[in-house]
Amino acid sequence: MKAKILLVEDENSQRLLYKQVLSDDGYIVFDVETSHQAIDVVKEHQPDLAILDIRLSGEDGLDLMGQLMQIDKNMPVILHSAYSAWKDNFRGKMADAYIIKSSDLTELKKTVQQFLPRNAN
Amino acid sequence: MGQQKTVLLVDDEQIMHDLARAYLEREGFTLQSAYTGVSGLETIKDLRPDIVLLDYMLPRMDGEQVFSELRQNPAYEEVRDTPVILLTARGSDDSLKTRLLKQGIVAYLQKPFGLRELSDVINNIITLRDIRHSHRLLEIEVKSTKQHLSSIFHNAPVGIFSCNSHGELLQVNQYLLQILPELSYENQFINVLHNEFFKDSFFTTGVRYVLETGQSWKKELIPWASGQMKKLILNVHFVPIQVEKDDREDSKSVMGIIEDVTEWERKNFQLKLLSQVSSAMQQTMGLRKLLHLLLTAITAGPALSFTRAMIFMVDETESELKGAMGVGPMSSEDAMQIWNRLNRENLNMEQYLFNYGPTLPGENEKLNLHVLAIAIPLNAKTELTKVLQEKRSFRYKIDNQAGKNDAAFPACLNPLQLEDFIAMPVVANDRLLGVIIADNKFGNQPILEDRIHLLSLIASQAAHGIEKAHSYEQLHEEKQKLEQAYDELHRAQEKLVHAEKLAAIGEMAAHVAHEIRNPLVTIGGFASQLQKKTNFENNETNPAQIIADEVLRLEKILENVLNFTKLPDPEPSINNINKLIEDVVEQIKPVLENSEITIQTNLQSNCPDQYFDQGQLKQVLINLLQNSQQSFEKPGIIRITSFLENEIVLIRIEDNGPGIASDMLTDIFNPFYTTKKHGTGLGLAISQRIVHGHGGEIRVKTKLGQGTRFDILLPVNFGSGTQENKNSVVNAVIV
């Protein structure tokens, strides 16, 4: 059974990129744009991992992380941001991992593998 | 002849009485009668007739005997001069007549004589007698007038003299002799024109002028020091006079009036002094000038007749009473010299007070030097500190033989040779400023009560002046501090403006960097994906790979920009700079060797362990080494040296590369300045800020075509104390 990943990213091209990369690695990716959609996915599909962008248009990824943790406190959350600024934020520290966005996707892929080793190729 | 004259007839014949009475009473005379010589004498004595007619032929005592009795018997002294006319019937006896006239008989009438003749003689004699009498009165009057004039002359409150055309003094009054005792020598008046003491003095000048021109000569306020060093101020007025003498009818001579106005001038001077000191104290002037003015005022001129004045000031920081200035002589020779000089210069008060040159006179005089050497602790129990504490003046008389080493007058005062002096406190608004000492050493005048009073007035004026000068000096200091602060502020502001510029650039850069970063992630990410999915032959470069690499490089540039704008404070820990250099060299060596660059190190072991942020300094070293490496166009050498000097560790990185053009040198530390194709222009800017953040400095020296040398100077004591050691420039720039 393939592991399920929730991907929250408001920028279309990036969402497409991550979805493709993660799908290539053999995960089922639920990609959404908004917090609202993200909560629906968690409730409906109980994903094994969530990857959240922090700066969502009009919304806050950190807030979303809090809400998701209330629904499923066992689900690991990776914060994914262009900024390092939240890394040391106390809420940022609640995340299981903090990855700074880069065109080099090696780190993202490695981290996902750490949390979902069953899918390691 | 106003009242009736009485005539006494002494005759023994009644008829003579009857005839004389009838006639003389008609002529206006009163006739008295006596019939014998004895009764005649008694009548003369009792009734004092104006004239006596004496018959020669009298019984028992003849006329000659009566007359001789009248003249010689002391009993008739008071009437001895009564004129007597002798009447005789003895024919013309010339020898008798001559004898009697010689004895003093005023007239001699021979009987028989006409009554008319008698009355003429009587009238003549009475007239003569009246003339004589008035002559005598005149003589008495002349004599008394003479005495009166002489008394006026000698007792006049001005000096008066006269002298002849040769300069010989004829008359000198007592007053003048008191002022100028030198006018008389061994009870003889001198000749003023030929006297050594008065040579070239106002006296000879004046007398000579009057004799030569016949005009009067007048001069006021002449300072004069008599032989006893007594200072006088004189007003003199010499006039020509004509003395009529028997032998030389119009002999020229001179009369002079000399007035001693010393006391008057002293009062005048005192008033002027007070008003001038007071107005001087209103002005703003330096403390030293003010003190000098004060001491000059006390000693100069006749106002106070002090010869020496010194001032001691309270030094609050040292808690001492310190000698500040002294004016006056240190010996009687000094005193003579000063007094002569002042006499010669003949300065007035204003000149005394204000016309000294750029250097204060007396600065190097002995008294001043002695005073400057004196310091008495304020808590010492001395008379001077007592004056200050009790805020009132004291008069002291010290016996110099006995008083030495006395606690009341500490030994440091000995060089001043104080004997009889005033010590006066200088107090302004209850603030104790100092003590003035004034004495009359080497002057011959006593210290008088009114002078002490004047001194206290001047001291109180001075106190306010000194207080003002103090405040003025403080104000001046404050002003300088302010100016300094302003300069610093100005510099800080310039720095801040510079920093703000950088900050604005940084902020903008950060914003742009983030905005660019997002699309780069997508581009690079998809390029990587594309690369995986497209198959190229082994040796052919995948274009997607190129895109991905270039994007990665762009991202690195952006990271640098972001790092620059938010360079964190250094986090120092104990490290050793040589260890760090070795690590970096080890790390960078392969890269350098590829570029055929040799790296040499010369690290002195005296570099101590010190606090620094290892990560940040590593970045600095790598930046500088990379710069150097990238500048080489051909094989070269990089040399790294380290050593300790004056608590500063110096790291020197020098190469024999192409060097930097001097016009670019000023820009190399500016952010975003670069000469490299692929540079961000941030390497040196970041390096500089890191070094500044460590309280250090980075310096560059270069010569085109010969090479470049960077010196990093790091203070050894950085970070060993508190955070404040860190340079704030870096903090100000961080966004």
> pLDDT at position B126, please?
84
Model confidence at B2: pLDDT above 70: no
The verdict on B520 touching A (C-beta cutoff 8 Å) is yes
Of the ranges B144-148, B467-471, B692-696, B729-733, the best mean pLDDT one = B144-148
Confidence band of B349 (pLDDT split at 50, 70, 90): low
Contact A13 B527 (CB under 8 A): no
Q: How many Å lie between the alpha carbon of B514 and the closest alpha carbon of chain A? A: 7
Asked whether residue A120 is domain-assigned, the answer is no
Q: Average pLDDT for residues B509-518, to the nearest whole number? A: 77
Asked whether residue B513 is domain-assigned, the answer is no
Residues of B in contact with A20 (CB under 8 A): 529
Assess whether B720 and B575 both reside in one domain: yes
Report pLDDT digits (tens) over A87-96.
656 667 788 9
Residues 6+ apart with CB under 8 A from B11: B17, B33, B35, B53, B55, B58, B87
Residues of A in contact with B735 (CB under 8 A): none
Asked whether residue A121 is domain-assigned, the answer is no
> pLDDT at position B726, please?
39
Look at the block and give the residue holding tokens 């000469």: B675
How many Cα neighbours within 13 Å face the side chain of B462?
30
Asked whether residue B387 is domain-assigned, the answer is yes
From B518, B523, B552, residue closest to A104, measured CB to CB: B552
The verdict on A82 touching B (C-beta cutoff 8 Å) is yes
Q: Which of A36-45, B110-119, B394-403, B689-698 has the lowest mean pLDDT?
A: B394-403
From B518, B523, B527, residue closest to A82, measured CB to CB: B518
From A14, A18, A21, residue closest to B518, measured CB to CB: A14
Q: Which residues pair with B53 in a beta bridge?
A: B9, B85
Model confidence at B404: pLDDT above 70: no
Residue scoring higher pLDDT (B533 or B311): B311
Assess whether B371 and B468 both reside in one domain: yes
Q: How many Å lie between the alpha carbon of B552 and the closest alpha carbon of chain A? A: 7
Residue scoring higher pLDDT (B297 or B71): B71
User: Can you tell me whether residue B397 is helix, strand or coil?
Assistant: strand
> pLDDT at position B681, please?
66
* Final residue of a structural domain among B129, B148, B167: B148
Residue-number span of the structural domain to which A74 is assigned: 4-114
Find, among B259, B452, B268, B334, the residue nearest to B342 by Cα.
B334
The verdict on B517 touching A (C-beta cutoff 8 Å) is yes
Asked whether residue A83 is domain-assigned, the answer is yes
Contact A102 B555 (CB under 8 A): yes
Specify the CATH number for the domain of residue A84.
3.40.50.2300
The verdict on B568 touching A (C-beta cutoff 8 Å) is no
A-B interface: how many C-beta pairs under 8 angstroms?
51
User: Can you tell me whether residue B18 is helix, strand or coil?
Assistant: helix
For A100, name the nearest residue in chain B, comparing CA atoms only.
Answer: B521
Asked whether residue A105 is domain-assigned, the answer is yes
Assess whether B380 and B455 both reside in one domain: yes
Asked whether residue B505 is domain-assigned, the answer is no
State how many domains chain A has.
1
Confidence band of B91 (pLDDT split at 50, 70, 90): low
Residues B326, B295: Cα–Cα separation, whole Å: 7
Mutate to test the interface with B, among A21, A57, A103 (most CBs of B within 10 A): A103
Tokens at B536, concatenated: 């190229």
Model confidence at A51: pLDDT above 80: yes
The verdict on B514 touching A (C-beta cutoff 8 Å) is yes
Instruction: Name the strand (E) or helix (H) holding B493.
Output: helix B449-533
Asked whether residue A119 is domain-assigned, the answer is no
Assess whether B396 and B284 both reside in one domain: yes
The verdict on B510 touching A (C-beta cutoff 8 Å) is no
Asked whether residue B33 is domain-assigned, the answer is yes
Report pLDDT digits (tens) over B592-630.
888 888 899 999 988 888 999 888 898 899 888 888 888
Tokens at B199, concatenated: 């040579």
Contact B521 A21 (CB under 8 A): no
Assess whether B107 and B183 both reside in one domain: no
The verdict on A13 touching B (C-beta cutoff 8 Å) is yes
Contact B525 A82 (CB under 8 A): no
Residue scoring higher pLDDT (B540 or B380): B380
Confidence band of B724 (pLDDT split at 50, 70, 90): very low
Find, among B654, B655, B649, B658, the residue nearest to B605 by Cα.
B649
Residue B76 and residue B99 in contact, taking contact as beta carbons nearer than 8 Å = no
Model confidence at B511: pLDDT above 50: yes
Q: How many Å lie between the alpha carbon of A109 and the closest alpha carbon of chain B? A: 12
> pLDDT at position B92, please?
64
State how many domains chain B has.
4
Residue scoring higher pLDDT (B347 or B497): B497
Contact A21 B525 (CB under 8 A): yes
Residues 6+ apart with CB under 8 A from B507: B565, B735
> pLDDT at position B558, please?
80
Asked whether residue B488 is domain-assigned, the answer is no
Residues of B in contact with A101 (CB under 8 A): 517-518, 521
Asked whether residue B283 is domain-assigned, the answer is yes
* Final residue of a structural domain among B474, B504, B535: B474
Report pLDDT digits (tens) over B691-709.
888 888 888 988 888 899 9
Residue A60 and residue A30 in contact, taking contact as beta carbons nearer than 8 Å = no
Confidence band of B546 (pLDDT split at 50, 70, 90): confident
Assess whether B249 and B284 both reside in one domain: no
> pLDDT at position B258, please?
92
Assess whether B76 and B110 both reside in one domain: yes
The verdict on A17 touching B (C-beta cutoff 8 Å) is yes
Asked whether residue B545 is domain-assigned, the answer is no
Q: Rounded to two decimals, what is the model's pTM?
A: 0.41
* Final residue of a structural domain among B101, B132, B148: B148
Residue scoring higher pLDDT (B567 or B552): B552
Contact B525 A83 (CB under 8 A): no
Asked whether residue A82 is domain-assigned, the answer is yes
Specify the CATH number for the domain of residue B184.
3.30.450.20
Specify the CATH number for the domain of residue B44.
3.40.50.2300
Tokens at B664, concatenated: 């670019």
Could you tell me the end-to-end alpha-carbon distance of chain B, in angstroms, rounded to an integer? 139
Q: How many Å lie between the alpha carbon of B703 and the closest alpha carbon of chain A? A: 42
The verdict on B522 touching A (C-beta cutoff 8 Å) is yes
Contact B521 A83 (CB under 8 A): no
Asked whether residue B708 is domain-assigned, the answer is yes
The verdict on B552 touching A (C-beta cutoff 8 Å) is yes
Assess whether B205 and B92 both reside in one domain: no
Share of chain B above pLDDT 90, in %: 18
> pLDDT at position B731, please?
33
Mean pLDDT of chain B: 82
Amino acid code (one letter) for B683: G
Assess whether B116 and B21 both reside in one domain: yes
> pLDDT at position B351, please?
57
> pLDDT at position B42, please?
92
Contact A105 B520 (CB under 8 A): no
Specify the CATH number for the domain of residue B653.
3.30.565.10
**ipTM above 0.95?**
no
Model confidence at B355: pLDDT above 60: no
Residues A65, A83: Cα–Cα separation, whole Å: 17
Contact A14 B552 (CB under 8 A): no
> pLDDT at position B1, please?
44
Find, among B107, B100, B20, the residue nearest to B63 by Cα.
B100
From B514, B520, B532, residue closest to A103, measured CB to CB: B520
Residues of B in contact with A18 (CB under 8 A): 525
Residue-number span of the structural domain to which B691 is assigned: 567-733
The verdict on A23 touching B (C-beta cutoff 8 Å) is no
From B518, B522, B524, residue closest to A104, measured CB to CB: B524
The verdict on A24 touching B (C-beta cutoff 8 Å) is yes
Residue scoring higher pLDDT (B713 or B431): B713
Residue scoring higher pLDDT (B111 or A108): A108
Assess whether B428 and B368 both reside in one domain: yes
Q: Which of B183-192, B286-295, B332-341, B439-448 has the lowest mean pLDDT?
A: B332-341
Q: Average pLDDT for residues B239-261, to the nearest whole number? A: 77
Mutate to test the interface with A, among B515, B522, B528 (most CBs of A within 10 A): B522
Contact B521 A82 (CB under 8 A): yes
Handedness of CA B297, B301, B306, B310 (dihedral sign): positive
Assess whether B601 and B722 both reside in one domain: yes
Model confidence at B590: pLDDT above 50: yes
CA dihedral B627, B630, B636, B638 (to 10 degrees): 20
User: Can you tell me whether residue B110 is helix, strand or coil?
Assistant: strand
Residues B571, B594: Cα–Cα separation, whole Å: 34
The verdict on B45 touching A (C-beta cutoff 8 Å) is no
Contact A17 B529 (CB under 8 A): yes
Assess whether B210 and B307 both reside in one domain: no
